[in-house]
A = this chain, B = another copy of it.
Amino acid sequence: MNAAVTEILPTVGFAASALAVTLSRAHVADIVEALNEHPPAYAADVLLDLPKARAVDVLDQPELREPGAILKALPLERAVAFIQAMSSDRVADLFRNDLSEPERHRYVAKLDHETKAALASLLAYPEHSAGAIMTTEFVSVPADWTVARTLDHVRTVERTRETVYAIYVLDPVTGGLQQAVALRRLISAEPGALVGSAAGRREPVSVSPLTDREEVARLIAKYNLLAVPVVDDNSRVLGIVTVDDVIDAMIAETTEDVHKLGGMEALGVPYREIGFFSMIQKRAGWLSVLLLGEMLTASVLQHYEGALEKAIVLTLFIPLIMSSGGNSGSQATSLIIRALALRELVPGDWWRVALRELPTGITLGAILGAIGVVRVVVWQKLGFYDYGEHWLLVAATVGAALLGIVTFGSLTGSMLPFIMTRLGFDPASASAPFVATLVDVSGLAIYFSIASLILTGTLL
């Protein structure tokens, strides 16, 4: 809790009604932060004492924790009134994630027809789609309205719309989206002119309700939009996704990706709030899978046991060589994952990437190989360690193995995100630990093949 919030909410025991007075001047985001530190029943008391518009504002924040429990602690009539006034995307979110089946029924029975219909249509869309995160509170007017009439309409509905900065101009007959007008242009347009005169000449950018939220974010970022309309096949506007919803979605996506890149399931809950057993569950799965994969290294080593017995010196370099393959793979995989996310690369570019990573891997491998050779030579010459009479061959083995494994790691790491995409997984699942495990097993095989090539007849 930051200082400002501590001032707002001095103690848990503080009377909720006195508190509501203090809260009425605070930013809604700060109120949410303060309420999150208290049990739902207390938050409900505070909401009852706030002016209704303010209470609804609080409930509209996606950052508010346990909104379901807070609603449950309110008298049914008040809860229903709040739900009807909330923005439809938040209500859909609430119904999807925070309410139990009997609660959902209890509220739906009391909702007015309009809210019920909006809710039903939003709930039908898959999670993370534009349809699921859109709001139905937008401004649209027929193309035969004038600028003045449109401005009057905007003034009337302003309080009940998520944004009024983008106004959608519809075909008066079909209701299809024709143009998007920015409020900034509208206020300086000729009042008697048709509303469309204030629109740019460009086709409005729009998405389908099934468009993924990542793609919506990409379009909003690319075209610097404040909202993007979601249209059906007949170009009728179903709702809009606003820039602040997109920012929330971007933050959530990044969190998910970073968790996956770390080799685990995305937590889905803040670190400090997740329960001990949920945490174990999210982490143990991948760790166990990776361990099972890594067990193949034991099998590979068993296979080369004879070589190991004859030349124990080979053992010394196993960790070093394996990890270099993993590290170069991890670099390549995170480069490609990000380039795919930014659409700098598309799945069809895999061969271009392969052609690029091959020389890159060889060069990186040559650099690391040279360092490896120098290490063996220096240790031998300075007497830190005696690699035996064939120390030069040992150095050559280490150098060649590093060259081979770093090349292999770069290629594998760069191809894995493409393979994950093709298989229908999130490319971010091609995590550093996953790549490292893949490369470890094959890396050992490469190492021992090179060793037997170079050392047979001398050490082996």
Contact = CB atoms under 8 A, between A and B. Distances in A.
Interface of A: 24-27, 29, 63, 151, 154-155, 158, 163-165, 183-185, 187-188, 201-203, 205, 217, 220-224, 226, 243-244, 246-248, 250-251, 254-255, 257-259, 261-264, 267, 270-272, 276, 279-280, 283-284, 286-288, 290-292, 294-295, 297-298, 301-302, 305, 308-309, 312, 315-320, 322-324, 326-328, 330-339, 342, 344-345, 349, 352-353, 359-360, 363-364, 367-368, 371-372, 375, 385, 402, 406, 431-433, 436-437, 440, 444
Contact of A158 (B188, B324, B339, B349): B188
A315 B301 contact: yes
A370 B99 CA distance: 38
Nearest to A334: B262
Contacts of A315: 301, 308, 315, 318
A59 to B, nearest CB: 14
21 contacts: A24-B201, A63-B222, A154-B187, A158-B185, A220-B247, A221-B247, A247-B247, A251-B342, A257-B258, A261-B262, A262-B331, A262-B334, A263-B331, A264-B335, A271-B344, A280-B360, A280-B364, A287-B368, A297-B323, A301-B318, A323-B437
Given A284-B364, A315-B301, A290 B324 contact: yes
A41 to B, nearest CB: 24
Given A29-B224, A327-B436, A432-B433, 12 more contacts: A246-B247, A258-B334, A261-B261, A263-B334, A280-B363, A287-B324, A288-B371, A291-B372, A297-B319, A312-B312, A322-B322, A330-B431
Contact of A258 (B203, B287, B337): B337
Nearest to A260: B334
Residue among A270, A287, A288, A327 having the largest count of chain B Cβ atoms under 10 Å: A327
Nearest to A328: B287
A292 B324 CA distance: 10
Contact of A262 (B25, B294, B333): B333
Nearest to A444: B319
A375 B223 CA distance: 55
Contact of A155 (B165, B188, B364): B188
Contact of A222 (B25, B29, B254, B339): B29
Nearest to A247: B221
A221 B436 CA distance: 35
Contacts of A261: 258, 261-262, 334, 432
Contacts of A331: 262-264, 283, 286-287, 433
A316 B299 CA distance: 8
A319 B291 CA distance: 10
Given A298-B319, A335-B271, A360-B279, A284 B344 contact: no
A225 B298 CA distance: 55
Contacts of A330: 262-263, 431-433
A449 to B, nearest CB: 16
Contact of A375 (B184, B187, B295): B295
Nearest to A258: B338
Contacts of A270: 339, 342, 344
A319 B344 contact: no
A368 B301 CA distance: 20
A317 B301 CA distance: 9
Nearest to A346: B2
Contact of A283 (B220, B254, B360): B360
Contacts of A363: 280, 284
Contacts of A359: 276
B202 A25 contact: yes
B342 A320 contact: no
A327 B287 CA distance: 7
A116 to B, nearest CB: 27
A333 B263 CA distance: 10
Given A261-B261, A263-B330, A226 B226 contact: yes
B220 A368 contact: no
